[in-house]
């Protein structure tokens, strides 16, 4: 029996564009997975997904008309349960065999056909049978139903279908959108399956306005894509349609010339691909006077509201032209162009109006209004929050020795949230911070404060830029720390995948600023400072609060470092020490990586682990050595080596040269090995035991200043 290619298509009403790609991929992959599980498709079967605004489809190669029969061995029960003392079948075994459809007219023959095999401590009976392979019609029916049940549908829709029975009535079905057609072709043969009240056929509908014929007849599974393109004027492949839009966008921009280019936005591109079946890019324009409005406002309204592609010049400045991806291709496109230009004009006029109105009031005049905006019912208003951020920012600037910037920091912290009260941010919340920067410049507050206000939300996401100046860095740090400490302080801690206040993102932002800017700040001291302005609003146990937040942050830090390519052992060796100055962490990691290449590293790491275990069992150990209690040559030699090597390693550590510090300590390998070869640590004499434990504590402290080297042991 040979295989043929299979095509399945659901013809539906317009699907949600933002979810289209995910739905198309899921439908095809789930369908293929279920067919493979039934033995109807192979691991080598190639799956091609199709997704357009009005269809979901899948082309799967090498699909069998009937799956091969499969030999199955099934465990029945222990021999002691299935056979009596004479080796005859018990009633329990007979009943089990009957349930499996086995012939039990001759019980002795039925028992003889069974196999015995060890199963744990006992011996069990096994029954061999041949399972008939699934036929394509029943297998595809099951695969379709299971695939639809598992699809990642963002919001299910219910609709009614008229019943086929003699009595009139309606039945409810559920899917992302109403389905009006079903194709199921195995080669050129229709597979008789039913789904969502529809019977499979070989016809579908093409483009709503530009299809050459209707309905579109698909003669063969392999002809689907070309038939739909030629007769239906539809590019069924999401990827091909997306690539065509990119090609046309680039061609249109090149035709305009002057180095202009369409804005780069993958999310917008995916959404527009989900809106059109055959793209046609057109060039439109708006009045140049609107360019007086900040380009972020114009770009956002064109992208979010109209799904247009703004055009930027060679200097990344917005031009008065934009690109529209139309779903129709008339000979004269002037009406389409004119319509889109008329539609965008009121949007841009609204943005200009908001911008003009907002500039009539200064940011400073809006500060009082923040007292009327609730931040959190347990933490007060935005006004109260601003006071806390100002206090935190002042403390950070002071700790960093930036007394000259205190005024700028305080001004930026005081005004950073005032743009929340502007009309522009009220309409476009995504512009918070950005509009504050524009309005600060208009108020004559200077570029330093304007940039700080604009950047204080940064980094907004993974890979985002950090604030561009130190004033913005301090305010951004204060803002994120206030959120983190405040939410932890009232018990709003992330659990599982729930993190409504984005505390994980805030923690990573704080970590990035502390690490990448190498700020001379002690993390524990910093968190304790942040907790003070909250007063009685948060838990009074500040020590536990600081400990919990540090644990949370170091977990985020460890994950981030692993994503950057550091090994779990390297990360754990450094992060487990909870270094309070996070800016040191890259240097510590570099030192650990360099140390691991030394020939002495494995032996020292293993010895360090041994020392850690000894000290853990000993409990509290004083890092002190009495010279008169050093008896054995091995412990005398180790102490002498420590006396000459440890001070140099500590001096290098204190100077921040962590690599040199660890490399200096590598010279301890020989005396450490000799110590463990010849000295009994847990001596019977208590004074000798405590002295040797004290020597090991000194060694442990010296070896683990940079990182816990015992974590490097595989």
- Domain-embedded: residue 574: no
Q: Residues 435, 556: one domain?
A: yes
pLDDT at 166: 52
Does residue 200 have a pLDDT over 80? Answer: yes
Rounded to an integer, what distance in angstroms lies between the CA atom of residue 64 and that of residue 136?
7
Q: Residues 479, 535: one domain?
A: yes
pLDDT tens digits for range 257-273 = 989 999 999 999 999 99
- Domain-embedded: residue 423: yes
- Domain-embedded: residue 157: yes
- Domain-embedded: residue 578: no
- Domain-embedded: residue 579: no
| Domain finish residue from 106, 131, 156 | 131
Does residue 168 have a pLDDT over 60? Answer: no
Q: Starting at the edge strand that comes first in sequence, how are the strands of the sheet with 47-52 ordered?
A: 47-52, 55-63, 4-12, 179-186, 189-190
The more confidently predicted of residues 80 and 29 is 29
Does residue 361 have a pLDDT over 90? Answer: yes
pLDDT at 139: 94
- Domain-embedded: residue 78: yes
Please give the biggest Cα pair distance in the chain: 106
- Domain-embedded: residue 596: yes
- Domain-embedded: residue 571: no
Query: Average pLDDT in the 314-332 region?
Result: 95
Q: Residues 34, 126: one domain?
A: no
Q: Residues 601, 497: one domain?
A: no
pLDDT at 498: 87
pLDDT at 454: 97
Query: Average pLDDT in the 213-232 region?
Result: 96
Does residue 164 have a pLDDT over 80? Answer: no
Q: Residues 94, 14: one domain?
A: no
Whose tokens are 């001291």? That residue is 525
- Reported as a pLDDT band with limits 50, 70 and 90, residue 77 is confident
Does residue 92 have a pLDDT over 80? Answer: yes
DSSP-derived 3-state class of residue 36: helix
Does residue 553 have a pLDDT over 80? Answer: yes
Does residue 165 have a pLDDT over 70? Answer: no
| Domain finish residue from 312, 337, 358 | 358
CATH number at residue 592: 1.10.730
pTM, two decimals, is: 0.81
pLDDT at 462: 86
pLDDT tens digits for range 215-224 = 999 999 999 9
pLDDT at 367: 96
Does residue 533 have a pLDDT over 80? Answer: yes
pLDDT tens digits for range 129-162 = 777 788 999 999 999 999 999 999 988 999 888 6
pLDDT at 572: 93
Rounded to an integer, what distance in angstroms lies between the CA atom of residue 374 and that of residue 378?
10
CA-wise closest residue to 484 among 434, 538, 432: 538
Does residue 170 have a pLDDT over 80? Answer: no
pLDDT at 127: 83
pLDDT at 660: 92
* Ranges 313-317, 416-420, 540-544, 675-679: which has the least confidence: 675-679
Query: Average pLDDT in the 176-186 region?
Result: 95
pLDDT tens digits for range 269-288 = 999 999 999 999 999 999 99
Q: Residues 385, 490: one domain?
A: yes
pLDDT tens digits for range 500-528 = 899 999 999 999 999 999 999 999 999 99
Q: What is the DSSP string of 316-360?
A: S-EEEEEEEEES---S-THHHHHHHHHHHHHHHHHHHHHHHHHTT
Overall domain count for the chain: 5
Mean of pLDDT over the chain: 92
Give whole-number Cα distances, 390 to 22, 410, 436, 470, in Å: 44, 6, 17, 15
Q: Residues 210, 250: one domain?
A: no
Percent of the chain scored above 70 by pLDDT?
98
Q: Residues 354, 243: one domain?
A: yes
Query: Average pLDDT in the 323-352 region?
Result: 95
Rounded to an integer, what distance in angstroms lies between the CA atom of residue 495 and that of residue 552?
11
pLDDT tens digits for range 478-496 = 999 999 999 999 999 998 8
**Structural domain harbouring 498:** 364-565
Handedness of CA 47, 49, 50, 54 (dihedral sign): positive
CA 583-584-590 angle, to 5 degrees, is 125
pLDDT tens digits for range 560-590 = 999 999 999 999 999 999 999 999 999 999 9
Handedness of CA 699, 704, 706, 712 (dihedral sign): positive
Rounded to an integer, what distance in angstroms lies between the CA atom of residue 73 and that of residue 114?
10
pLDDT at 355: 96
pLDDT at 163: 61
The more confidently predicted of residues 115 and 422 is 422
Q: Residues 196, 247: one domain?
A: no
Q: Residues 123, 266: one domain?
A: no
DSSP-derived 3-state class of residue 676: helix
Q: Residues 145, 219: one domain?
A: yes
Query: Average pLDDT in the 322-329 region?
Result: 96
Non-local CB neighbours of 219 within 8 Å, separated by 6+ positions: 188, 202, 227
DSSP-derived 3-state class of residue 545: helix
| Domain finish residue from 312, 336, 358 | 358
With beta carbons less than 8 A apart as the criterion, state whether 278 and 210 touch.
yes
DSSP-derived 3-state class of residue 235: coil
Q: Residues 122, 264: one domain?
A: no
């Amino acid at each position: 029996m040979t295989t043929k290619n299979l095509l399945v298509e659901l013809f539906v009403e317009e699907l949600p564009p933002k979810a289209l790609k995910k739905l198309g991929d899921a439908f095809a992959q789930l369908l293929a997975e279920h067919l493979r599980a039934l033995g109807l498709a192979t691991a080598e079967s190639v799956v091609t997904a199709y997704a357009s605004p009005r269809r979901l489809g899948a082309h799967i190669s090498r699909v069998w008309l009937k799956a091969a029969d499969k030999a199955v061995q099934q465990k029945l029960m222990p021999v002691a349960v299935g056979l009596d003392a004479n080796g005859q079948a018990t009633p329990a075994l007979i009943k089990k065999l009957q349930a499996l459809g086995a012939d039990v007219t001759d019980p002795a023959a039925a028992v003889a056909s069974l196999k015995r095999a060890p199963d744990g401590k006992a011996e069990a009976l096994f029954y061999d049978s041949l399972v008939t392979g699934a036929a394509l019609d029943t297998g595809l029916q099951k695969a379709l139903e299971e695939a639809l049940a598992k699809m990642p549908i963002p919001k299910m829709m219910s609709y009614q279908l008229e019943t086929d029975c003699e009595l009139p009535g309606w039945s409810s079905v559920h899917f992302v959108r109403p389905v009006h057609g079903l194709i199921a072709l195995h080669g050129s043969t229709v597979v008789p399956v039913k789904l969502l009240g529809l019977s499979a056929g070989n016809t579908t509908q093409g483009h709503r306005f530009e299809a050459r014929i209707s309905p579109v007849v698909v003669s063969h599974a392999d002809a689907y894509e070309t038939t739909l393109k030629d007769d239906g004027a539809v590019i069924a492949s999401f990827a091909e349609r997306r690539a065509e839009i990119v090609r046309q966008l680039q061609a249109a921009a090149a035709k305009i010339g002057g180095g202009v280019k369409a804005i780069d936005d993958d999310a917008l591109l995916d959404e527009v691909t989900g809106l059109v079946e055959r793209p046609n890019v057109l060039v439109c324009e708006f009045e140049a006077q609107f360019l007086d409005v900040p380009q972020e406002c114009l770009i956002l309204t064109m992208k979010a509201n109209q799904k247009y592609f703004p055009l930027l010049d060679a200097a990344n400045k917005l031009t008065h032209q934009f690109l529209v991806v139309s779903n129709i291709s008339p000979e004269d496109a002037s009406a389409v162009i004119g319509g889109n230009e008329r539609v965008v004009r009121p949007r841009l006029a609204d943005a200009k109006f908001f911008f003009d109105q907002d500039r009539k009031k200064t940011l400073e005049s809006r500060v009082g209004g923040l007292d009327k905006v609730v931040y959190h019912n347990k933490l007060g208003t935005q006004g109260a929050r601003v006071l806390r951020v100002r206090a935190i920012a002042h403390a950070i600037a002071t700790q960093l020795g930036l007394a000259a910037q205190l005024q700028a920091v305080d001004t930026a912290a005081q005004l950073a949230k005032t743009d929340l009260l502007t009309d522009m941010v009220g309409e476009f919340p995504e512009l918070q911070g950005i509009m504050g920067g524009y309005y600060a410049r208009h108020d004559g507050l200077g570029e330093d404060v304007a940039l700080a206000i604009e950047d204080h939300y940064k980094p907004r996401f993974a890979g985002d830029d950090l604030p561009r100046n130190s004033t913005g860095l301090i305010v951004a740090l204060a803002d994120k720390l206030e959120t983190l400490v405040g939410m932890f302080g009232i018990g709003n801690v992330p659990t599982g995948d729930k993190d409504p206040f984005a505390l994980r993102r805030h923690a990573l932002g704080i970590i990035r600023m502390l690490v990448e800017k190498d700020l001379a700040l002690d993390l524990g001291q910093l968190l304790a400072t942040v907790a003070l302005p909250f007063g009685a609003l948060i838990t009074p146990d500040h020590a536990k609060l600081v400990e919990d937040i540090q644990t949370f942050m170091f977990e985020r830090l460890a994950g981030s470092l692993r994503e950057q390519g550091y090994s779990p052992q390297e990360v754990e060796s450094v992060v487990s020490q909870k270094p309070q100055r996070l800016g040191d962490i890259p240097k510590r990691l570099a030192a650990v990586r360099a140390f691991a290449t030394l020939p002495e590293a494995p032996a020292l790491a293993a010895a360090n682990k041994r020392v850690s275990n000894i000290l853990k069992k000993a409990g509290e150990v004083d890092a002190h050595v009495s010279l008169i209690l050093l008896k054995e040559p091995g412990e005398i030699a180790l102490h002498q080596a420590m006396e000459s090597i440890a001070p140099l390693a500590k001096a290098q550590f204190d100077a921040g040269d962590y690599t040199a510090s660890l490399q200096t300590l590598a010279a301890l390998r020989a005396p450490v090995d000799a110590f463990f070869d010849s000295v009994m640590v847990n001596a019977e004499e208590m004074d000798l035991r405590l002295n040797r434990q004290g020597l090991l504590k000194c060694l442990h402290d010296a070896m683990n200043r940079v990182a816990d080297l015992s974590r490097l042991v595989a």
